[in-house]
Amino acid sequence: MSTECEEFLNMAIAYLEIGRVAGSAETEFKHVHEYENAIAYQMFHAVELFYKYMIKKKTGSAPHTHKLQELEKSYLELYPSSDYKVDHPFKFDEYHPCELNIGELELHQKHIKQFKPDFIDQHLRYPRDHRTGGYSFSIDSSSFEKMNNQFLRISSIDC
């Protein structure tokens, strides 16, 4: 029987498995934006649950938020070593414009203001409108296996 803390890790791994299976499925929707974002949501939610698992493992409680940046900040405060770094595709603060593209930084800032990355889970789960959309992900099924390996490696490190 899993502890409440371990359930976060088990669910994170389950979401990765669902994403891997959906990402490797031969379907007519495979390259359709909505299908790809639904697959990306599986990885997003897995990362969210993994951060909550690791935070709960160290502090005894998991934050009640879906904001990945907040969770990541808390996680990195508790686990500052590079051994605990989670490499995932939802890091919007690592964007660097190409100096050859005139106006790219301003375009990026306008986009971020309209389509707030704090609500990326909403962008991935719902159809596009004036508040959601603006993000498109195409995550290969092998990325889910790599993320699973990261989670297992990190969670096995003695804190």
Which pLDDT belongs to residue 114?
81
Which pLDDT belongs to residue 99?
85
Give me the residue label for tokens 């299908």: 35
- Cβ contacts of 69-76, under 8 Å, gap ≥ 24: 69/93, 69/117, 69/118, 75/51
Which pLDDT belongs to residue 4?
82
pLDDT digits (tens, 9 = 90+) for 132-142: 777 788 899 99
Environment class of residue 26 by beta-carbon count within 10 Å: exposed (0-12), middle (13-18) or buried (19+)?
A: exposed
Regions in the chain scoring below 70 on pLDDT: 1-2, 159
Q: What is the reported pTM?
A: 0.89
Which pLDDT belongs to residue 42?
97
CA 97 to centroid of chain Cα atoms: 22
Which pLDDT belongs to residue 50?
98
Which two structure tokens, joined as six digits, stand for 138?
A: 């195409």
Q: First CA to last CA across the chain, in angstroms?
A: 23
Separation CA 113–CA 94 (nearest Å): 16
Which pLDDT belongs to residue 2?
66
Question: Is the sign of the CA dihedral 124, 70, 111, 138 positive or negative?
Answer: negative
Which pLDDT belongs to residue 93?
75
Give me the residue label for tokens 């890091």: 91
Which pLDDT belongs to residue 38?
94
